[in-house]
Amino acid sequence: MVDLRTIELTQAEKLQVERRRLGQGQSQRAAYFGVTLDVYLAWEKGRRKPLMPARRLRAKPWEVCRLLRARVNLSQAAFAKIIGLSRVTVNQMEVGKIDAQRLIGYWEKQYV
């Protein structure tokens, strides 16, 4: 098994994690950086690289679970069906509101 804390995040993923931790929308982050919303969206999607250096950011295991799900292009509903949970439960796990051990276990097994 792999420790999810060791998975490298892309710069785009780091921007997403930071924004979600701050509880801000994409337009708020665009304004913070002084760029248009289109530019910020391109940064978060990895289509353009930000001009600022990448921040050192260590994602929490549940944040990594959300990013890994996004990497394989699964919706929360589709992923919930795979692991036998409700979409609401997966959402609460991915934002750290409830214990995410089931998600963590799933992704750790995928990266053996």
Q: Which residues contact 36 (CB under 8 A, 6 or more apart)?
A: 30
On whether the CB atoms of residues 5 and 58 are closer than 8 A, the answer is yes
What pLDDT, in 10s, does the model give residues 19-45? 999 999 999 998 988 889 999 999 999
* Orientation angle between helical segments 87-94 and 76-83, nearest 10 degrees: 100
Give the contacts of 88 (CB within 8 A, at least 6 positions apart): none
Structural domain for 55, as ranges: 4-110
Percent of the chain at pLDDT exceeding 70: 92
> How many domains, the chain?
1
Task: Name the least confident of 22-31, 58-67, 82-91, 97-106.
Answer: 58-67
CA 12 – CA 26 distance, rounded (Å): 12
pLDDT of residue 56: 66
